[in-house]
Amino acid sequence: MKIFNYQGLKTLVLLYLFFLTPLTAQYRDYKGIASSVSALGKEYPNVCTVKSLVRTEGGKEIWLISVGRGDKDSKPAVAVLGGVEGNHLAGKELALGFAEALLKNSGSAEISGLLDKITFYIFPDVSPDASETFFTKPVYEKLSNSRPADDDRDFAVDEDPFEDLDNNGYITLVRIQDPAGDYTECQDDNRIMVQADISKGQKGSYFVYTEGIDNDKDGKFNEDGPGGVCFNRNLTFNYEEFGEMAGLHPVSEPEVKAVIDFLYDHFNIFAVFAFSPQNNLGQPMKSQERASAGEASSSSGQSAQEQGERRMMQNRKITAIMKSDEKINKYVSDKYHEITGLKGAPPSISAPGNFMEWAYYHYGRYSFSTPGWWFPADKDKYPEAEFLKYALENGIEDVFVPWKEIKHPDFPGKKAEVGGLKPFAMITPPTEKLPELIAKNYEFILSLASMHPELEFLDVTTEDQGENIYRVSLKVHNRGLLATCTEAGDNNMWTRIMRISVECGRNQKLISGRKVQRIQRLEGDKSAEFSWLISGKGPVKITAGAVNTGIITTTAELK
């Protein structure tokens, strides 16, 4: 396996940090993203193409940046997605920042050589309708697109949105003082409201709601605001019928369909990398737990692990990562921690219909996901209180709105206050951190790309068997770290089958062995052996591979 030149890479990262200083770093709105994407296509026409896949319900383009040399769609590829959930603003900056850094350095020997072998498909923001709420007033976190929806199923659409009751431009929380309430002040930080835990001797004294009023008088607050479907809940794996923001059916949204149609059509993609709440880089996925000793003894010759995987395959629905894929996920996760320096990852958020799991279980590709940034926290403490502590220690200001008393029309005669953490605060790093985060994630994605499956021929031999007959033997070796496909994708119709073929000359004849045959899945640094008997002298051309591994050829001379 060829090791990428990391010393040269680190130099490029430092150069990138120089060009993108904290003075210019910022979160870009939809128009800013579109302008930056367009500029890349114009500045780097030899290695970059830009196009819009579709428009969302809100009329915003889903942009695709393709980076590579030559025929981009005929080489192994990595797909990179930002904005998988609309409130994760850092993800779209990290995805677009990766594209910008890659193209800025595309003239260097290291990156130019990589682009000769690998294509990158980059989707900067697949949830532009949702992410735009960061740039509007009042500011609130939104996950769904702009499709009108009856979220509370009361036969009215978008009728109960947020209201900015204290007119400060942010949607936070409302707390109502009431002895019957189920919330209390957090012991770690009394600014934070938490549900009372009777096992700890706590009693509630507040009701807590999102900031707004009960417009439709159904006892719920802000449950049916503008928009309706979340990209990251509209995929086919583990889709939740009638789920919140799940859509009328899987892949109901034009942006979801356009993205996965593109991925399905591009068999050359071997790995997918997403910036999303799912975090199998912070916390790797785990394969199915081993069966008990009793279960293990009930099937002769099979380990408990093998029995578990056999049961999953018999059910024809894989619900846990396969064992060999788990090892790769663990290695790649360790590499991510090593390169980014991020530690103390929070537990990965599992949600029905999410993109990361779809890319592995249904698309059958290596699938990696990370929010790109998080703050270290004690898992046994309240995350909101831990964040405020982190913000104080790191000089992050203006993240909390102090509680302020208001008159709430739905609670006459009761003390009502508005306050709490500002929207986006806990999941959005300060702008001055963006250059370093972009540089580190850029380095990691290049490291991941350099692990790509890569075939080579080894031990090519020809033996004269007499009577003008020759035996041709060789090995097909995967010198990459990643397998030629995931174990989960080995029998997936969306994974191209590797083939090896022999092309005899006009005066030659294949006596033994098949002209075209399948190459079984090869893990990293593994080989498969092949042999043929051929009558007649002259060159014999042998071709092996698939579009996601690269196609290799060699010639054996029979003489």
CA-wise closest residue to 80 among 110, 109, 101, 106 = 101
pLDDT at position 228: 86
Q: What is the CATH number of domain 455-558?
A: 2.60.40.10
The CA distance from 479 to 459, in Å, is 14
How many residues would you count in the chain?
559
Strand partners, 542: 502, 554
Q: Are 183 and 196 in contact (CB under 8 A)?
A: yes
Measured N-to-C along each axis, helices 6-19 and 89-104 cross at an angle, to the nearest 10 degrees, of 110
By three-state DSSP, how is residue 197 classified? coil
Low-confidence ranges of the chain (pLDDT < 50): 1-4, 6-7, 11, 14-24, 290-300, 314
pLDDT at position 387: 95
pLDDT at position 306: 58
Retrieve residue 49's tokens. 């193409």
pLDDT at position 23: 39
pLDDT at position 223: 77
Token look-up 């405020």 returns 388
pLDDT at position 21: 41
Instruction: Output phi, psi for 12, to 5 deg.
Output: -65, -40
For residue 133, the 8-state DSSP code is G
Strand partners, 461: 473
pTM of the entire predicted model? 0.90
Boundaries of every domain in the chain: 6-133+229-286+321-374+428-449, 152-226+388-426, 291-317, 455-558
The CA distance from 482 to 367, in Å, is 12
CA-wise closest residue to 384 among 196, 182, 191 = 191
pLDDT at position 318: 87
Q: Are 365 and 269 in contact (CB under 8 A)?
A: yes
pLDDT at position 222: 80
Q: Which residues of 12-37 are buried (b: 16+ CB within 10 A; e: fewer)?
A: bbeebbeebeeeebebbebeebbebb
pLDDT at position 317: 79
pLDDT at position 310: 56
Please give the sequence-ordered ranges of beta strands (E in DSSP) within 444-504, or none if there are none.
Answer: 455-466, 469-478, 498-503
Q: What is the CATH number of domain 6-133+229-286+321-374+428-449?
A: 3.40.630.10
The CA distance from 212 to 163, in Å, is 4
